Structure 1
Amino acid sequence: MINRYTADRKLRHDDAYTPNNEGGKRPDRATLVYSQRCREAYKGTPIVLGGIEASLRRIAHYDYWSDKVRRSVLFDAKADILLFGNAERALVEVAHRLADGEDISTMTDIRGTAVNLPAAPEHYRVIDSSRIEKPGKAFVPQNPYEVESNCDTNKTESAPEAKPITIRPSRHDAATTAVRLPPFEKLNNDRILYAHASRVMHVETNPYSGRALIQRHGDRELWVNQAPIPLSTEEMDYVFGLPYARVPHPMYGKAKIPAYDMIKTSVNIMRGCFGGCSFCSITEHEGRIIQNRSQESIIGELEEIRDKVPGFTGTISDLGGPTANMYRLGCSDPKAEANCRRPSCVFPGICNKLNTDHKHTIDLYRAARKVKGVKKVMIASGVRYDLAIESPEYVRELVTHHVGGYLKIAPEHTEKGPLDLMMKPGMVPTIASKRCSRSTVLKLARNST
């Protein structure tokens, strides 16, 4: 839909993912259409949904294009099972169990999946989501054109400040407890309940302590299992080390595909993000625990790009991921990480338990520059600057060797009001312990360039 329409719902005439940038080659709501076509062509064959759309639409969700709340895409597509996240573990398990002759309707217990059930599994205790966090009152933004009616001599008592939202600690075993979200029929007409359901889903994303979710859709139950366990570095290396062709399918011939041209010399070094920004979908898809590749695996891919990608000029367009500088960062306390329910590790300030050492990223950049045949390594992913200023050495390395033209940074705004709503730090973040000032970093950057 994003490739077919602009933000104001005007039809695009191009599509970066289509040969020769030609628009209109894919239908609206492709997941639904392709599922229907598969069902028509292969009656009785299980249909498994996956990808970013499955992750973002796994529960009842607001749909911008139709301006309404829609059912889970699992119901609309009439598929058998939905896999959310990157889903390597779930995909392998589903494939093996199908190969062993198991019926897909019995696969209701796989992490990282959602299924359509008549009722919740018997061995689960279901608690209401309002026990985790009570739905609040609607925020009514101030009308910027309203004339001030209370002058200094006629002021009324100001309304009491809203109490901060608190997340109640989990007192229930994640393996045997599920959280019931408000049903689709109620979310359809109640934006407060919708916001509540969305927030609870994010609170329950921790793969170690997050619980299964259940949501009523008509006379059926949407059952969303716990989030998948993150991949280890060895597993990430295996996935990224598979024998990818690194070129478009031969059926496209010499057609130009703009999206391929953009990423053909880009290397993904990690996945996930612990920023928890309120406008972002990374947590819903990749989770907030960073999963890293080894330096050896990344260097091996650089050499593969050099040897395999047609027309390689010696420039690597990006070493990054959801952010440029979260490689090998994460919680320094495994026990705390397993039980943490905070949506963000860096808002409103950096958590004291968060490891912010950029040493591994610096070492990676230096090793990448030494690869034979690589002339320039660019960093095109966004730099989280509240983390970057924790390491003046990283900033020096970045601005000296890896910036061409403009440097993308987060946050994407300058004013405190919007930044607070985005769950982003201010332009001069107030960060405690082992912090350097922004002026020091800017001076360092100027000296480096």
Structure 2
Amino acid sequence: MFDNLSDRLESVFKRLKGYGRLSEDNIQEGLREVRLALLEADVNFRVVKDFVARVRERAVGREVMESLTPAQQVVKIVHDELVALLGGRNRQLDLSGRQPAVLLLVGLQGSGKTTTAAKLARWLLSKGRAPYLVPADVYRPAAVEQLRVLGERIGVPVHPTDTSRPPVETAREAVARAGLQGLDTVIVDTAGRLHVDEALMGELRDLKARLEPQEILLVADAMTGQDAVNIAGKFDADLSLTGVILTKVEGDARGGAALSIQAVTGTPIKFVGVGEKLDQLEPFHPERIADRILGMGDVLTLIEKAQATMDRRRAQELQEKLRKDAFTLEDFRDQLRQLRRMGSLEQVLSMIPGLGAQLKKAKGLMPDERELVRVEAIIDSMTPAERRNYRVINGSRRRRIARGSGTTVQDVNRLLKNYAQMAKMFKKMRKGGFRNLPQGMLPW
């Protein structure tokens, strides 16, 4: 989402570093570029004005002008102010008080509200909660069926909504049923409209009064830029929002909504949807987002993704196999699958400090996702004996594997050659490199 902004800011800071010692004129020139970069990213112009003023006030002070590394000090100031602009810290859901906790999801039609309800339920399930999904959009029968199907997919119960009844009655009945069934979190997916209107707001005010939810979360489409900020302002004025979930941030959004919502409405962003899959909802961490914008990577999120997708017992088994020189093509395939569960390669690599930016600059070096699919298909086309010992794969077997995987013999040869080189590297590392690895950690 922040690619263009990151590129622009990187060029500004590179120019500042070239000056060696900074003057007020250098800083003013750099801040003009920062201002333009933020405006191009569709950040609210008042927010940009205040942001640049705060940075300027600090940047022309003694901490920068008398520093041995003034350009780095400016980067630090911009980073600090970006964190503040984004809300300062991660804001967690309020699930305290009356149980079951009630989360009311509101927003316009097409913002991804129903899918987000399922994503949020899946996330809560992973945290040990027992969620209950409530389709309260009685005007769009497909929404009820959609949520039922999504609930089945993630293993979360869904309230059997009767579309002939008012949404308030349905929601109150659902909360009572959740309590009787021992479910501790009710997620109410409300009806959306094509635009904010009094009928929509009246219904939502009624739901708020009758349910007394702990959280009222606006689901907003990041692709709409400043419209998302305006919509947040209108919903907040009527409902006193407790948080925002930004969807579609993996698309071509410029980042203006994320950088403006907190400052304009005072409503914190609590989650971001980073993809279409039901596991692609992440808590919003202002400091980590600021790191990504400034090209510093996001190691903490990368570690959390790895912990969520990697099987610790399996990792320990693989480490033991590496020590014994018993790492097979089957193990290699399993590792590829776990890597793909963490997200796209581009997303994963962009979280490694410096690496994502370098790969983006060096066009053609970004790994091709389709190559991973081909590799997995080739390994799947092998027999168990071939996966355990690739040396038995002769010419006729290579042709059979290529036909079975829809690839070429050259593709099969390339995979086997790369695997043999990797096995040789592991053998060298085994003599000393693995001894110092923490328990359960693999060398890649």
TM-score tier by shorter-chain length is: under 0.3
Which one has the largest radius of gyration?
2
Give TM-score scaled by structure 2 length: 0.26
In the superposition, the TM-score normalised over structure 1's length comes to 0.26
Query: Whose RCO is larger (CA < 8 A, sep 6+)?
Result: 2
Question: Which of the two has greater strand per residue?
Answer: 1
